[in-house]
Amino acid sequence: MGEIMKAKIDDVAKLAGVSKTTVSRVMNKRGYLSEKTIKKVHDAMDELNYQPNVVARQLFKQETKLVGLIFPTVNNPFFGQLVATMEKKLFSKGFKVLLGDSMNDPEKEKLYLRELMAHQVDGLIVGAHNQGIKEYQNANLPIIAIDRIMNNDIPVVSSDNYQGGKMATELLIKNGAKVIIHTNGPKTLQTPAQKRRQAYEDTMIQYGLKPITYTVDFNVSYEQKAKFLKNIFKDHPDVDGMFISNDVDAAQVIDIAGDLGYKVPDDLKIVGYDGAETTRILLPNLTTIIQPIDRMAEIAVNMLVARISNNDAGENKVLPVKVWRGKTV
Amino acid sequence: MGEIMKAKIDDVAKLAGVSKTTVSRVMNKRGYLSEKTIKKVHDAMDELNYQPNVVARQLFKQETKLVGLIFPTVNNPFFGQLVATMEKKLFSKGFKVLLGDSMNDPEKEKLYLRELMAHQVDGLIVGAHNQGIKEYQNANLPIIAIDRIMNNDIPVVSSDNYQGGKMATELLIKNGAKVIIHTNGPKTLQTPAQKRRQAYEDTMIQYGLKPITYTVDFNVSYEQKAKFLKNIFKDHPDVDGMFISNDVDAAQVIDIAGDLGYKVPDDLKIVGYDGAETTRILLPNLTTIIQPIDRMAEIAVNMLVARISNNDAGENKVLPVKVWRGKTV
DNA sequence: TATTTTGTGTTAACCGGTTGACATTTAATT
DNA sequence: AATTAAATGTCAACCGGTTAACACAAAATA
């Protein structure tokens, strides 16, 4: 019933009949070691079920092999896939993940940043949506941003949002839509996703159509969002095309449009954005712009790891997107 | 250009004109302290942008305020929501999350368990699907399982899978389905989800119908799964009801059934399982059994935190489910 | 005035590994 | 036989906080 004390390096040394230093040498593969000694030590470690206390090592080595991920929430197909892929890749490179879901709350994000730094993470990958957190500036820590502009020191990985916005808009126009509405996140968040808005507006004007953009808050309840989206139809009953800036919203729009009697795609054509795996399985009919989520994740991890090991800055990366031809256009 | 050294407790002490001990006392609110001293110390901390090195504290205190979450993957609406909710709750209780996506690979799960223990996590919440990892036994660590039977020492939080299975099956039967097929995960994984299969088979027999259960591997590609699911229709072209053990698979089945010419729900009625938020937004028409994911997450966290602070064992918890009346039945 | 409470300092041990310096023995090479 | 390389040990400092023990002064209370 008594607490089983975890074995320490001294216990291993004693059982193996060697010194603490030798055990450490075996673990870290340093200096001269005979096969015999290595075996003795490993046997002792097995027998004691020894796990070195990583915390002690972290303190001395001044590195934790931890990476913090700060994202709005993994409860979203896009971020879920992004985080899952990064986690997998980081694990294969020997890093563990400290997860921080900021829920788009700037205070929480700031707190996370501080606390993850206090936990001595070796690096950070950030994809939260908030702006103007000055702590990132003096964070003196390798950071990579995904789909988010932070400051000049921090490399950004994103997909080609302008191209994506253009493709979506042209798809609608070429299929005969005339009254095309676009939804996007708050303009104040100067994320690369805002380029979709720019592309939409440019393309509309280029084709002699009038751009109509609505700003949707990311962080509202399902019901509030439904109310907001319904109002779009009230304002523009003649709408025949919509470019919605993320697939989850697009799904909600399809649902609302159906309730209001629109036939998709006959009366109304809809294009979403993101194209996460799960979305494509759950809603294969949704025409959308696919971001290369896995590639973005891999590149962000590679850049971060490079930044951690050497000091090599790394450039911003913009990846191509493609169209998923569903049945909503 | 020179490396800015992070401030340490000694630097704060020097700047505030107090001793290291006093700074520590301020941080930990121990012993007698005057307002004046507290202010001096805080000012110094602010000026130096001081963040205590959590690793040093962890080593001494023998607690890390870290909790490990081992789940198949956050890239799935059910686990994504579960992890997001737990993370939020844990954060509010002062814990950070170390994320481990095991991808249903027993080796990876074992590795994670070992490494998270080496990282000195204060506790673990496990919802991976693999069985027979003996390391959990001698893990001498507070652990809570979600929807997964591990061993008698480890409390399990789950929803009422038997009730859910019964509700789903009866829903199909009462709406006139006769040839009802059920899919479930491998029988060898002795998870509580297996009770859905039991409930399905019991209910079918009770109504004088023949149960037909297919075992679907969780961990195969989209294409492999499609092939497998198509074969079900080949084996039973007269199928008019399906109880699919998770919503993502159900979505795929709907898609395939549509391609094969079945009209849902007229020719074929389908009930899914899980009812995660995202699924319900993306696919509101899917009739499904809703697990109280957020409650499960909260209860698991509460139980874990209780286990960490005192030694209070905690009972298994089974939560009620409910039906989401979509349009696929 | 005597006593207790409050506020702060100094010192050193401790958490559990890692590492450099140096010594010693054994094995391999010249 | 002499020299060099390989294998291991001992010792102590170090990472950056936390804390117990003890000392002492100032403020509050009896």
Q: What is the mean pLDDT of residues A306-313?
A: 84
Would you list the DSSP string of B178-243? -SEEEEES-TTS--TTHHHHHHHHHHHHHTT---EEEE--TTS-HHHHHHHHHHHHHH-TT--EEE
Q: Which of A71, A220, A224, A281 is the best residue to mutate to test the B interface, defined by the most B CB atoms within 10 Å of its own CB?
A: A281
Give the one of B115, B120, B248 whose C-beta lies nearest to A281's C-beta. Answer: B248
The C-alpha atoms of residue B107 and residue B121 are separated, in whole angstroms, by 20
The residue type at A32: Y
Whether B120 sits inside 8 A of A282 (CB atoms) is no
User: Which bases of chain C come closer than 7 Å to a protein CB?
Assistant: 6-12, 14-21
Among B35, B41, B34, CA closest to B18: B41
Q: What is the pLDDT of residues A61-101, one digit of tens each?
A: 999 999 999 999 999 999 999 999 999 999 999 999 999 99
What is the overall mean pLDDT for chain B?
A: 92
- What pLDDT does residue A33 have? 87
Name which of B73, B279, B281 is nearest A252 (Cβ-Cβ): B281
The rounded mean pLDDT for chain A is 92
pLDDT band, residue B103 (cuts 50/70/90): confident
For B16, the 3-state DSSP assignment is helix
Task: Tell me which residues of chain A, numbers 237 to 256, contact chain B at a CB-CB cutoff of 8 Å.
Answer: 247-248, 251-252, 255
Quote the tokens at residue B268: 């074929």
> Which carries the bigger pLDDT value, residue A313 or residue A211?
A211
Q: For residues B134 and B152, is the Cβ–Cβ distance under 8 A?
A: no
**Mean pLDDT within B293-297:** 98
Portion of chain B with pLDDT greater than 70, in percent: 96
In Å, what is the separation between the CA of B19 and the C1' of C10? 9
Q: How sure is the predictor about A48, in pLDDT bands with cuts at 50, 70 and 90?
A: very high
- A282 to B247: CB separation less than 8 angstroms, yes or no: yes
Asked if A54 CB < 7 A from strand D, the reply is no
Q: Does B27 touch chain A (CB under 8 A)?
A: no
* Segment among A88-102, A114-128, A187-201, B253-267 with least mean pLDDT: A187-201
Distance from CA of B195 to the nearest CA of A (A): 25
- pLDDT tens for residues A239-288? 999 999 999 999 999 999 999 999 999 999 999 999 999 999 999 999 99
pLDDT reading at B294 higher than 80: yes
- What is the predicted pLDDT for the residue at A133? 67
**Predicted local distance difference test score (pLDDT) of residue A106:** 84
**Of chain B residues 220-239, which have a CB less than 8 A from chain A?**
222
Answer whether residue B75 shows pLDDT above 50. Answer: yes
Query: What is the average pLDDT across A163-167?
Result: 98
Q: Taking residues A6-10, report their average pLDDT.
A: 91
Closest nucleotide to A7, Cα to C1': C16
Give residue-wise pLDDT tens across range A97-114: 999 999 878 888 999 999
**b/e per residue A55-67 (b: at least 16 CB within 10 A):** bebbbeeeebbbb
So what's the pLDDT on residue A132? 64
Judge contact between B70 and B86, C-beta under 8 A. no
* Chain B interface includes A138 (CB < 8 A): yes
Nearest by Cα to B164 from B288, B326, B329: B288
Of the partner residues B74, B84, B251, the one whose CB lies closest to the CB of residue A281: B251
Instruction: For residue B1, name the pLDDT band (cuts at 50, 70, 90).
Output: very low
B96 contacts A75? CB cut-off 8 A? no
